[in-house]
A = this chain, B = another copy of it.
Amino acid sequence: MVDHAPFMQAAIEEARKGRAAGGIPIGSVLVLDGEIIGRGHNQRVQKGSTIRHAEMDCFEEAGRLPASTYQRSTLYSTLSPCDMCSGAVLLYGIPHVVVGENKTFQGPEDYVRSRGVNVEVLDDAECIAMMEEFIEAEPTLWNEDIGE
């Protein structure tokens, strides 16, 4: 059984890096055979990007990979992936998504499961606290990031 803790911790480090740079504290890592092959964090503020959510930034940083690699990988994200990031998971056939928390925001987890993906939610207190601090401090920025 895989120990999710070190990979979720790496995703949290990405999120904290983003927050320290004035950005939105969501981080993600892509893992293959126990090795991190991509890392990223939300870049809305830093790069003025509307598409570089943490998971997307992670996929972009991982670079062009064969389908067979995606299909054996696990994506870790500190927050429940939104519609866009969930769609990227489906496009590339990522079979397993480990989510830090879905209390402060919940993407289409049931739909993603219905498409055959194993979505695990850790309910991680550090992930929740990080988002609660951010949403209280920057509600307008947060709403922009989720299209509200």
Contact of A111 (CB < 8 Å), options: B65, B85, B111: B111
Copies of this chain present in the complex amount to 2
Which residues of B lie under 8 Å from residue A67 when comparing CB positions?
143-144, 147-148
Cβ of A121 under 8 Å from chain B? no
Cβ of A128 under 8 Å from chain B? no
Cβ of A54 under 8 Å from chain B? no
Contact of A91 (CB < 8 Å), options: B60, B70, B146: B146
Cβ of A76 under 8 Å from chain B? no
Task: Indicate if the CB atoms of B92 and A147 lie closer than 8 Å.
Answer: yes
On whether A48 and B70 interact (CB within 8 A), knowing A84-B87, A93-B147, A147-B93, the answer reads no
Residues of A within 8 A of B (CB): 44, 48-52, 56, 59-60, 62-67, 70, 82-88, 90-93, 108, 111, 143-144, 146-148
